[in-house]
Structure 1
Amino acid sequence: METSWSLHVLSEILSAFSTEDPDNLRNVLNRVAESVDAEVAAIICNRSINWCIGLSEEDQQLLLEELNNHPSDINIRSGTLRTCWAPMGPRNQLFVGRLGERFDLEERSLLRAMARSIELSMKMLTAVSSERSARKNALFQATHDALTGLPNRRMVLDRLQATIDHLSADDSLLTAVLFIDIDRFKWINDAHGHSAGDQLLIHVSHILKQAVRHDDLVGRLSGDEFIVITRTSHQDDASQLASRIIEAIRQPLKVAGSELSHTVSIGISFAHVGDSPSTLLENADMAMYQAKALGRGRHSSFHSTMRLQAQQRLSLEEALGNAVQNGENKTFLQPIFRLTDETLSGFEALLRWQHPQLGLLMPDTFLEQAEDSGLIQEIDMCVFASACAAIAGWQQIPGLSDLRLSSNLSARSLSDPRVKGRIKEILEATGINPTSVYLEITETTLVEDNESTVATINALRDLDLRLAIDDFGTGYSSLLYLKRFPVGVLKIDRSFVSGLGSNSEDEVIATTIISLAKALELEVVAEGVENKHQLDRMRELGCDYGQGYWFGRPITIEATDVAIIEPLRQSPLSLNPLNP
């Protein structure tokens, strides 16, 4: 075999290598076999056949069994193979076999040269592949979320930009952006830990990928915010997709032995020519907040008026943060009277915001922002502390030692394990009698029954505090919870009190609540008593206490001291400031 011919063959072998396609090593083996008229060629790495031509799986196994012996002949089903073994480094080798004449010295020399060349080329291929894999991994990490593996904000924005660029070219389909936010996600983290929160995020990402089509994009923007970009023929299709996602995510998830109940709120926006990706996301985000305002676990589509509402909401939230620092949150007290003789029993502490520009604001105008921002916990404690201090002082007046205080505790505060310590500090600092303190929580909060809330309620029991269930009858009533926790008072929602005498259903509900309370040895407070008819009817039904405009509107602590407490200081034998 002439040397020039051998070099030509070697050159052909090396040219068959491709760094673009690792499987092209099979083409290399074909060239090797053709160069010496062989039927079989294989590359063996670490006692495994990585690439092979001309051998069945059964014959390949036979070849591996003979690996240590390097026999000159191997019998396979089609005949006897004349073999050549050429080393490719310490653990790898090139194997060539043909049915016919043995390999001469020139051919063996050529095959050894080929083996060394293949070894060098494979090393280069490995290095190139590693570099490309590293670049690919770096690009993936830069464009995907580490926890869920979903495209991140950067990739979402790029995809949105590409979609917007093609809007004018194809106007047969609408591009919808669904902004998905897990409701009260911080509560889940606080109550169950960040590990549970991560499991929920992964769970939601799986549901989203299952809910969309193959060419839709699912991404995670940050925290508990996800995005879906979909192309659709009608706007209703996007709404139907949002409904399916909400329903799928609503199903309870078991985490660390506990069932996690959770919902998502979804905002929908549609792309138009000239929009920017950030505008689309902002629009969908505003629509999502509208869905939350409607009660969470819902979806809403963007319209232009939402932008003004969002600006107002942001301004309000910023001002609320300043209000907490500047002491603009004020404690108002509304009296509670015993119905049998209309004597003063105690007060409910209520929140008001003395806004420097807008004046006195009621809680329903800012409570949602307080809850979403986490400021509600600090506000709860401020109201509680000032009310405790006032009531504790009034309890020193002869005849008022049993004066009660009811103070609202938000679900977010109740799920905070630190709340017991803060309440204990306030009780000790003010000297109020703990047995006269009732913490008002909503019925829904009680039934949610997450681990942190249960632990807090049991801790409050240790402080001799009791619960008052606010707005009873409007949530998910359960006798189990009324007996399980230290509940002392049920408060009949004002909506049932206002219907007395005109709505038979309201009368039935009020009667049932009072009967239930009596059976469970609980006291009942009727909210929203505004006229004598409601007072008389509540008294006839056996209701214990009442509060409402008939007895007095909520006023500041200072005004309460002047209007209600001062007459009792002067005439301690009369506890009825309405009828001294």
Structure 2
Amino acid sequence: MDAQQKALSEKAIELSRSENNLTTILNSVEAYIFIKDTHYRYSYVNRNMEKLLGMSVEQILGQQDSAFFDADSATQTAEDDARVILQEQRVATEEVRTLCSNGNNHVFMTVKLPLRSENGKVYGLCGISTDITERKAMEDKIRHLAFYDALTGLANRRLLIDRLELQQRRNQRNQEYGALLFIDLDNFKTLNDTLGHDTGDQLLQQVAHRVSFCVREEDTVARFGGDEFVVMLGSLSSSEPDAGSVARKVADKILETLRQEYRFEGQSHYSTPSIGITLINGSVAADDLLKQADLAMYKAKEAGRNRLYFYDPAMQEAISLRAQMESELRVAIEQEQLLLYYQPQVNAAGIVTGAEALVRWEHPQRGLVGPVEFIPVAEASGLILPLGHWVLEAACQQLSDWTKREQTRDLTLSVNISTHQFKQADFVDALLALVAQYAIKPERLKLELTESLLIDDIDFAIERMRFLKQQGIGFALDDFGTGYSSLAYIKQLPLDQLKIDRCFIDGLPSDANDAAITRIIISLASELNLWVVAEGVETQAQRDFLLDVNCSGFQGYWYSRPVSAESFLLYVLEQQGET
């Protein structure tokens, strides 16, 4: 008997030790561990459960979840518990619970298992919960950063495109039209530069709020980047005209709202938007829709800003042709498909004093292409730089060729210089290198600059021009009278020549205003000791008027169209009676 009691006593001690070890383990883990009976009452909780509920184990045991959590949490938990107890299922679920004690929300990842007796009957459940509240908050934050703009809280480009693709499929399925509005703030850079980036950010936030106020809850407002916003109006109508009408009304509302006064620390500011609109019907890819709305927005800007513009398929055709021309022009520069034509410049006696170099493109399929068609493409694409360098080099080479003939060695050659080209850091070095390479007299080369080029940064222009003038390079002010024509800067510029724009010559001699302006320009040039050249002289009456008012130089079809180098030489020789 003593031996049996001793064995039982040792077994009880061992069992107690095992229970203590188990309790220690269960209280040490990070998880919340609990056991419930078949009436969903707690029959065991570990220490973490005591801490979570803020109660002792004695206060917890025998209670249901309704004693600790709000009604919605308790109801959802009871439904999950019933699946374990009644349907004998293993349940793994994400639970959101709100504590009654402090109102805090917790998110748990919980696994619940049925507990069975030796005969297999379920007598309760065991649950293990992990608090993933912080992880969920971080995931939500990451998701927000991935899909929303940090400054305005609006959808970002990525989320917009996702929603746009879904909307396209929906509209195509339902045969409905939506609309995409591309919004760009006019002159936003000016505000940023004058009032600072913090004020610019405040404006963007206010714009985001105002635009959101103008649309329905199911529509999407996104910040596309910088000062660009995009609005997606989901389903508007099964009729294209009706959808367009609704889109216009929304755009008008946005225009009106964004035109209203903005206040920044007591200061008033006004801003206007330009809006491009295209319709969504599922037949056009999301990226292409955005391009269409963007194109329409730029059309609104070109039309004067502060307005809306609907996308027209003709725009896309024009853009495609422009892209094709850019590609072909790039090849033309590389393969030297360009050539210079020369339009004579003559003095009052009709003697050739020089020429203006005008670039032409000898297109393999289209033949001779004029600069009006491809120069804007070159300027927009950046190809104006290699193109401009080619023109300068070809002009220097031509001057070099002219020096070999007595009849042409004293002729000057004028070359048009673009703003972008003139401002390049290496422009001066590259130009002087060409002058040295072709061993030409620099005073025979004349650079034609526009007023807009000069006024953009007058101090820089004066400094660069003066340096080149010291090297012997001449300068002509092109299209004089069409820009700023300010005497304040003209007197500072080292000019040799003023060119009267053809818009004033066209009306001569009958238009009194054109006649008066022409007289003034010629008088001004005389006072400043500048040679003046009238462009676009096409009739004898124009020439005679200009002679009467003492114009010193002439250029136009009355004398000669722009011609090839060979034809120009023949023109000069003919004039000198040597052919």
TM-score, normalising length: structure 2: 0.65
SS in 1 for 2:293: helix
Aligned with residue 142 of structure 2, among 138, 161, 181: 138
- 2:326 pairs, out of 312, 317, 328, with 317
Instruction: Report the CA distance between 1:148 and its aligned residue.
Output: 8.8
Would the aligned equivalents of 1:467 and 1:487 in 2 still touch at CA under 8 Å?
yes
- Give the equivalent residue in structure 2 for 1:338: 347
Note the alpha carbon deviations across 1:66-119, whole angstroms, 9 max, x for none: xxxxxxxxxxxxxxxxxxxxxxxxxxxxxxxxxxxxxxxxxxxxxxxxxxxxxx
Structure 2 unaligned spans of 5+: 1-43, 46-54, 74-93, 105-128, 234-244, 263-270
Deviation at 1:171, TM superposition (A): 11
- After superposition, the Cα gap between the structure-2 partners of 1:484 and 1:269, relative to the gap in structure 1 and judged at 3 Å, is farther
Partner of 2:546: helix, strand, or coil?
A: helix
Secondary structure of the structure 2 residue equivalent to 1:333: strand
- One-letter amino acid of the structure 2 residue matched with residue 135 of structure 1: E
Q: Kindly provide the CA deviation profile for residues 182-231 of structure 1, in whole angstroms up to 9, marking residues without a partner as x.
A: 99x9xx9xxxx9xx999999799568537634466564657x79342165
CA contact (8 A) 2:258 2:272 kept: no
What does residue range 58-97 of structure 1 map to in structure 2 within 5 Å? none
Contact 2:419 2:453 survives alignment (8 Å): yes
Q: Residues 293 and 6 (structure 1 numbering): CA distance in 2 closer, same or farther, change over 3 Å?
A: closer
- Indicate the residue corresponding to 1:306 in structure 2: 315
**Partners in 2 of 1:456 and 1:8 — Cα distance?**
91
Distance 1:529 1:142, change over 3 A: same
Q: 1:527: Cα distance to partner?
A: 0.4
Match of 2:504 in 1: 496
In the alignment, structure 1 residue 6 sits paired with structure 2 residue 56: yes
C-alpha distance 265-524 of structure 1, shift in aligned 2 (>3 A)? farther
Give 2:385's aligned residue.
377
Match of 2:277 in 1: 268
Match of 1:209 in 2: 208
Flag the structure with larger Rg. 2
Contact 2:214 2:250 in 1 (8 A): no
Structure 2 SS opposite 1:543: coil
Deviation track 1:55-75 (CA, whole Å, cap 9, x = no partner) reads xxxxxxxxxxxxxxxxxxxxx
> Is 1:557 aligned with 2:565?
yes
Structure-1 residue corresponding to 2:335: 326
Structure 1: unaligned runs, 5 residues or longer? 32-120, 250-261, 569-575
Other-structure match for 2:38: none
Change in CA separation of 1:168 and 1:389 when aligned onto 2, cut-off 3 Å: closer
Select the residue among 407, 424, 438 that pairs with 2:415.
407
Paired residue type of 1:370: A
Q: Name which of structure 1's ranges 468-477 and 449-458 shifts more when overlaid on structure 2.
A: 449-458
AA partner of residue 233 (structure 1): V
Provide the rounded CA distance (Å) in 1 between the counterparts of 2:564 and 2:202: 48
CA contact (8 A) 1:441 1:470 kept: yes
| Cα separation, partners in 2 of 1:270 and 1:242, compared to 1, 3 Å | farther
Q: What's the counterpart of residue 159 of structure 2? A: 155
Tell me how far apart the structure 2 counterparts of residues 422 and 301 of structure 1 sit (CA, whole Å): 45
Paired position in structure 2 for 1:66: none
Match of 1:284 among 293, 300, 313: 293
3-state SS of the aligned residue for 1:366? helix
Amino acid at match of 1:443: E
Q: Distance in 2 between matches of 1:248 and 1:464?
A: 54
Compared CA separation, residues 214 and 148, structure 1 to 2 (3 A): closer
1:301 Cα shift?
A: 2.1
Q: Which moved more, 1:479-488 or 1:341-350?
A: 479-488
For residue 406 of structure 1, report the CA deviation from its aligned partner: 1.1
Normalising by structure 1, report the TM-score. 0.64
SS in 2 for 1:308: helix
The one-letter amino acid paired with 2:162 is: D
Describe the shift of the 1:220–1:395 C-alpha distance in structure 2 as closer, same or farther (beyond 3 A): farther
Offset of 1:285 from its aligned partner? Answer: 3.5
Which whole-Å CA distance do the structure 1 matches of 2:553 and 2:256 have between them? 44
Deviation string, structure 1 residues 222-270 (Cα, Å, up to 9, x no partner): 7x79342165835265368569979999xxxxxxxxxxxx999754323
Mean Cα displacement is larger for which, 404-413 or 148-157? 148-157
Distance 1:279 1:405, change over 3 A: same
> Whole-Å Cα distance in 1 between the matches of residues 448 and 199 of structure 2?
30
Percent of aligned positions that are identical: 30
Structure 2 residue aligned with 1:238: 251
Give the aligned partner of residue 228 of structure 2. Answer: 226
Take 2:350 and 2:502, find their aligned partners in 1: how far apart are those partners? 19
- CA positional deviation for 1:290: 4.7
Task: Report the Cα offset of residue 332 of structure 1.
Answer: 1.4
CA distance in structure 2 between the partners assigned to 1:342 and 1:449 by the alignment: 37
Distance of aligned partners of 1:268 and 1:460 in 2 relative to their CA distance in 1, 3 Å threshold? farther
Mark the CA change 1:311 to 1:169 in structure 2 (over 3 Å): closer, same or farther.
Answer: closer
**Matches of 2:551 and 2:133 in 1, distance apart?**
83
Per-residue displacement from partner, 1:126-149 (whole Å, max 9, x unpaired)? x742x3344334334433578998
The answer on whether the counterparts of 1:438 and 1:466 sit within 8 Å (CA) in structure 2 is yes
CA contact (8 A) 1:443 1:472 kept: yes
Kindly provide the amino acid, as one letter, of the partner of residue 515 in structure 1: S
Secondary structure of the 1:551 match is coil
Give 1:523's aligned amino acid.
Answer: W
